Structure 1
Amino acid sequence: MTGVSKIVVLGAGNIGGTLAQRLAEGDLAEEVMLVDIVEGLPEGKALDIQESAPILEFSTRVRGSTSLDAIAGADIVIETAGLARKPGMSRSDLLTKNAGILRSHAEAVRAKAPGAIVMVVTNPVDVMTFYFREISGFAPERVFGESGTLDTARFRTFVADALHVSSRDVTGFVLGTHGDTMVPVLSLTNVSGVPLTKLLPADRLEAIVDRTKKGGGEIVNLLKTGSAYYAPTASQAELVRAIARDEHRLLPVTAHLNGEFGEKGVYVGVPVVLGRKGVERVVEVELTPAERSAFQTSVRAVREDLAILAQMPK
């Protein structure tokens, strides 16, 4: 299977525009549709990407629109729209504003692309994924969030840097929220089969974990006027490829738990098998007592945000 018919990217900012480019260059769909409310923005970025086709030799058609009607017929929808948290903005304000944006999108997807698989990128991703699924009414396996693949890529990068080895040889993953309570799983991380805990002392491991948790903030502090979008869209494209080509990849995503890891009724980062139908299954792994405790702390943080969300007017 080479790809799908239509992929829709909601939001044409740095994430949405760069992701549309990656999807087109990967020939993952016959058509990539970029949608944004800003007049001219999605059309302009789509045209710019399309004009690179003769050079990069991809066949995907890239289009832009300001209308949610453009969602119609989508096989995959990626939700990137939303506000970033600004100085002085409370977490409650961020949740409320982004939930308002996602509500209209989820309703449109439900009406115009009822068979789509949805990937949510909007932060806070664990809560926004839960909310999108709730509003859309889709089966939980058809709505998931992107976070763990990005956090894992950062983790693998920092491990590789510390050991002066190729990041391709580092295997591991990050569980939990996309935030301060994420859980890089040291006990299951290895370098070409050699356990990481045998290669680095505890203080070096702790420093890598801490840097991974602060990975997004590190880039924000360096850029001053924006946030990361190269690594995030690379991880998002990897997930879309797994769906579009039905690859059955084992990857960490924000997925719905129904008893797995001892949790139920919550979306949080866990390893899953991802294919054309979305999340095929959650893969439970054995954690150390400390890792399991950290994961439970992460889930509690998500539930606290869900409690804020529950206070919003329906």
Structure 2
Amino acid sequence: MRRSKVTVIGAGNVGATAAHWAAIEGLGDIVLLDVLEGIPQGKALDQSQFRPISGLSCSIIGTNDYKDTADSDVIIITSGIARKPGMSRDDLLATNVKIVKEVTEKALEYSKNAYVVVVTNPIDAMVYTSYKVSGLPKNKVVGMAGVLDSARYKSFLADAIGVSPKDVNAIVMGIHGDYMLPLVRLANVCGVPVTELLPKDQIDAIVKRTQNGGAEIVAHLKTGSAYYTPAAAAVEMAKAIIFDEKRVLPCASYLEGEFGISGYFLGVPVVLGKNGVEKILQFKLTNEEQSLIKLSVEKVKEQVDSVNKILGW
């Protein structure tokens, strides 16, 4: 029986970590691709040598040739420049939009039926770029944002309350950026609202820290950005698709009327399975939440307008 095949484009910190995690999670044969000669080959060779230790039978190869990615089931796009101190995600747009366009075109040439998970920042604009370029239906192209942001949100809440992160349920919606919306009223610990467990000022501080989670890490690293959790988040999404898990995950998905939004990718709770985004879970937002989501939409619209202008669409 044929194993599934996952291609990770971009062999930097996020891409290499995603390839490593995808192999450990048993997603199938792994291809790590990058334009830099030797980098994907060396990292893939190193990773392939942990197979006897981890009990893995999959293949892990590194390449500069898109032909080696042929017939991939899922393509994870991490290519692009990363943030440095003082940079916003928007600062990356002009450079990364051209990269994402090119890698999407080349990858889909050899894997016409693949599902695409976009990680490159600014994610909501880059997943739009990949969607427009690929010609794939909307359910097959999705952006990694909410899984990462929600993981940060849950971690901060768990540490503040003094419980296991496994028992915290919380979701972040909206843009992957300063206007993201960590939903407070839905956050809970095994059903107990966090508003019953933490004072408002502490919750407000956690919301703010979640919104600035990426910048906080960039400030520490100085020369790079987060990669362990972004990589794990992308693999969690790919895993849900490959194994038809029907996971409910917050992802940047193309909206056509859901939550009153049309024509943009935005972080919302979706069901991920063998058909990609199989359903968007809608629920009623409060007036305050609607106002905050509107800010996300306005920001995404600015990014999309920039993408269309850069690419002449």
Do both share a fold (TM > 0.5)? yes
In the alignment, the residues of structure 1 paired with residue 90 and residue 160 of structure 2 have an alpha-carbon distance, to the nearest angstrom, of 37
The alpha carbon displacement at 1:210 in A equals 0.3
TM-score when normalising by structure 2: 0.96
The alpha carbon displacement at 1:86 in A equals 4.5
Residue aligning to 2:308: 310
The answer to whether residue 27 in structure 2 is matched with residue 28 in structure 1 is yes
The letter for the 1-side match of 2:44 is A
Structure 1 residues 93, 172: closer, same or farther in 2, change over 3 A?
A: closer
In the alignment, the residues of structure 2 paired with residue 169 and residue 4 of structure 1 have an alpha-carbon distance, to the nearest angstrom, of 33
Q: Give the secondary-structure state (helix, strand or coil) at the position aligned to 1:186.
A: coil
Residue aligning to 2:64: 66
Deviates more, 1:239-248 or 1:192-201: 192-201
The alpha carbon displacement at 1:21 in A equals 0.5
In the alignment, the residues of structure 2 paired with residue 209 and residue 87 of structure 1 have an alpha-carbon distance, to the nearest angstrom, of 21
Structure 1 residues 89, 217: closer, same or farther in 2, change over 3 A?
A: closer
- Deviation track 1:18-63 (CA, whole Å, cap 9, x = no partner) reads 110111111111x100000111111111110000000111111100
Q: Give the secondary-structure state (helix, strand or coil) at the position aligned to 1:272.
A: strand
Map 1:72-111 to 2 at 5 A. Answer: 72-86=70-84, 94-111=92-109
Map 1:103-142 to 2 at 5 A. Answer: 103-142=101-140
Deviates more, 1:180-189 or 1:232-241: 232-241
Deviates more, 1:80-89 or 1:292-301: 80-89
In the alignment, the residues of structure 1 paired with residue 111 and residue 35 of structure 2 have an alpha-carbon distance, to the nearest angstrom, of 19
Whether the 8 Å contact between 2:140 and 2:277 is mirrored in structure 1 is: yes
Whether the 8 Å contact between 2:85 and 2:222 is mirrored in structure 1 is: no
Map 1:178-189 to 2 at 5 A. Answer: 178-189=176-187
In the alignment, the residues of structure 2 paired with residue 27 and residue 247 of structure 1 have an alpha-carbon distance, to the nearest angstrom, of 14
The alpha carbon displacement at 1:88 in A equals 7.9
Structure 2: gaps spanning 5 or more residues: none
Residue aligning to 1:172: 170
The letter for the 2-side match of 1:13 is G
Q: Give the secondary-structure state (helix, strand or coil) at the position aligned to 1:237.
A: helix
The letter for the 1-side match of 2:183 is V
In the alignment, the residues of structure 2 paired with residue 177 and residue 93 of structure 1 have an alpha-carbon distance, to the nearest angstrom, of 15
Instruction: Select the residue among 202, 205, 208 that pairs with 1:207.
Output: 205
- Deviation track 1:167-209 (CA, whole Å, cap 9, x = no partner) reads 1111010001111000001111111111112222211111010
In the alignment, the residues of structure 1 paired with residue 224 and residue 86 of structure 2 have an alpha-carbon distance, to the nearest angstrom, of 17
In the alignment, the residues of structure 2 paired with residue 190 and residue 94 of structure 1 have an alpha-carbon distance, to the nearest angstrom, of 35
Q: Give the secondary-structure state (helix, strand or coil) at the position aligned to 1:106.
A: helix
Residue aligning to 1:7: 6
The letter for the 1-side match of 2:31 is M
Structure 1 residues 225, 111: closer, same or farther in 2, change over 3 A?
A: same
Whether the 8 Å contact between 2:119 and 2:230 is mirrored in structure 1 is: no
The letter for the 2-side match of 1:16 is G
TM-score when normalising by structure 1: 0.95
Structure 1: gaps spanning 5 or more residues: none
The answer to whether residue 232 in structure 2 is matched with residue 234 in structure 1 is yes
Whether the 8 Å contact between 2:84 and 2:224 is mirrored in structure 1 is: no
Alignment RMSD (CA, Å) = 1.7
In the alignment, the residues of structure 2 paired with residue 40 and residue 174 of structure 1 have an alpha-carbon distance, to the nearest angstrom, of 38
Residue aligning to 2:265: 267
The alpha carbon displacement at 1:87 in A equals 6.4
Deviates more, 1:197-206 or 1:145-154: 197-206
- Deviation track 1:197-242 (CA, whole Å, cap 9, x = no partner) reads 2222211111010000111111111122211111111212211111
Whether the 8 Å contact between 1:4 and 1:244 is mirrored in structure 2 is: no
The letter for the 1-side match of 2:296 is S
Structure 1 residues 267, 231: closer, same or farther in 2, change over 3 A?
A: same
In the alignment, the residues of structure 1 paired with residue 154 and residue 13 of structure 2 have an alpha-carbon distance, to the nearest angstrom, of 24
In the alignment, the residues of structure 2 paired with residue 92 and residue 267 of structure 1 have an alpha-carbon distance, to the nearest angstrom, of 16
Residue aligning to 1:46: 44
Map 1:215-230 to 2 at 5 A. Answer: 215-230=213-228
Q: Give the secondary-structure state (helix, strand or coil) at the position aligned to 1:114.
A: coil
Residue aligning to 1:55: 53
In the alignment, the residues of structure 1 paired with residue 8 and residue 173 of structure 2 have an alpha-carbon distance, to the nearest angstrom, of 26
In the alignment, the residues of structure 2 paired with residue 233 and residue 308 of structure 1 have an alpha-carbon distance, to the nearest angstrom, of 27
The alpha carbon displacement at 1:250 in A equals 0.5
Deviates more, 1:289-298 or 1:32-41: 289-298
Q: Give the secondary-structure state (helix, strand or coil) at the position aligned to 1:266.
A: strand
Whether the 8 Å contact between 2:120 and 2:126 is mirrored in structure 1 is: yes
Residue aligning to 1:285: 283
